[in-house]
Structure 1
């Protein structure tokens, strides 16, 4: 039997992967996407807790109740978590290093994912206040890509204690 070198574990394997898929977003997500097409961030309110969920699915994730009341949130938001990315991915990836983050829109109970721009990566902080930078009007579609990135605004950081449950 040949020596397979099982005493020396493989240290690294390159596995190129891509996932492109189409899906039917349903009514709640369609309303959210149509809002983005108008540069609005829309959520839906849980009839039991009053919390507003973005990007809505039509059902409150905690109570399981149907959500029907649309609520505009943001557009300002707070960074609740972030990561400095040193290896780009995809053809539209920003130059590295860049910051990917979770953004809690004002009035929402859950965060959206995106990237941070117009600031050095080492200046990004949890609690930093930001606003979306939208694509030009002639490029608007029913897509999260309508928000090119989020940029810092001249407002005080939100204390981390106020973000518990959102991090």
Structure 2
């Protein structure tokens, strides 16, 4: 029978064969209450991993190594997605039609970044933007440079700025940043469906 007058919870009994951590005697560390608690710890971490792309992403990465941007079209909605994933996120149908896209785009929305992240080589402040690549129906993230941060606005027309040919790999990092291309801005009202 369990004592219901005790303020301590009854021990949990595990089925035979399951291991449980034994109770810890805290009386030996009673002085812990007098120590100021740690409020934060800064620990640097790095994660390296291998990624196995599917067919759609493989085609995209091979194209980007050739300074081309490709997407895939949904057969039901007609929308073009970049980077392609092989399946429409709206209809769930396979996207089998590959579409060559432009190398220019339009700022849909943006953020002025005022914090320096570890390992970040950007001059503060800088602009991170959602960019609608010409011919696509979904924006991608990119850095906007070669323009003062306070002059960036939705509708700004951009060109992609690439790494040198000798540095090209199968990576989205082949696009170093996006810069104004000199074309007139797109009216913000035309971007409402992409925000």
How high is the TM-score relative to the length of structure 2? 0.76
The aligned counterpart of 1:143 is 171
The aligned counterpart of 1:153 is 181
SS of match in other structure, 2:193: coil
Number of matched pairs: 163
Runs of 4+ in 1 over 2 A off after TM superposition: 1-5, 12-22, 88-93
Offset of 1:89 from its aligned partner? 2.3
Kindly indicate whether residue 151 of structure 2 is the aligned counterpart of residue 123 of structure 1: yes
SS of match in other structure, 2:106: strand
Kindly indicate whether residue 88 of structure 2 is the aligned counterpart of residue 60 of structure 1: yes
Kindly indicate whether residue 194 of structure 2 is the aligned counterpart of residue 166 of structure 1: yes
Offset of 1:48 from its aligned partner? 0.8
Bigger relative contact order, structure 1 or 2, given CA contacts below 8 A and separation 6+? 1
Q: How many angstroms apart in 2 are the aligned matches of 1:118 and 1:146?
A: 17
Q: CA 1:90/1:147 → structure 2, altered by over 3 Å: closer, same or farther? A: farther
Kindly indicate whether residue 97 of structure 2 is the aligned counterpart of residue 69 of structure 1: yes
Q: How many angstroms apart in 2 are the aligned matches of 1:19 and 1:79?
A: 31
Q: How many angstroms apart in 2 are the aligned matches of 1:153 and 1:165?
A: 23
Q: CA 1:86/1:18 → structure 2, altered by over 3 Å: closer, same or farther? A: farther
Q: How many angstroms apart in 2 are the aligned matches of 1:82 and 1:62?
A: 24
Q: CA 1:80/1:13 → structure 2, altered by over 3 Å: closer, same or farther? A: farther
Offset of 1:53 from its aligned partner? 0.3
Match of 1:43 among 71, 74, 80: 71
Q: How many angstroms apart in 2 are the aligned matches of 1:138 and 1:61?
A: 35
Offset of 1:114 from its aligned partner? 1.1
The aligned counterpart of 1:112 is 140
The aligned counterpart of 1:98 is 126
Match of 2:111 among 59, 83, 90: 83
The aligned counterpart of 2:58 is 30
Q: Over the residues paired in the alignment, what is the CA RMSD in angstroms?
A: 2.0
SS of match in other structure, 1:157: coil
Q: How many angstroms apart in 1 are the aligned matches of 2:98 and 2:120?
A: 31
Q: How many angstroms apart in 2 are the aligned matches of 1:86 and 1:17?
A: 22
Q: How many angstroms apart in 2 are the aligned matches of 1:14 and 1:127?
A: 40
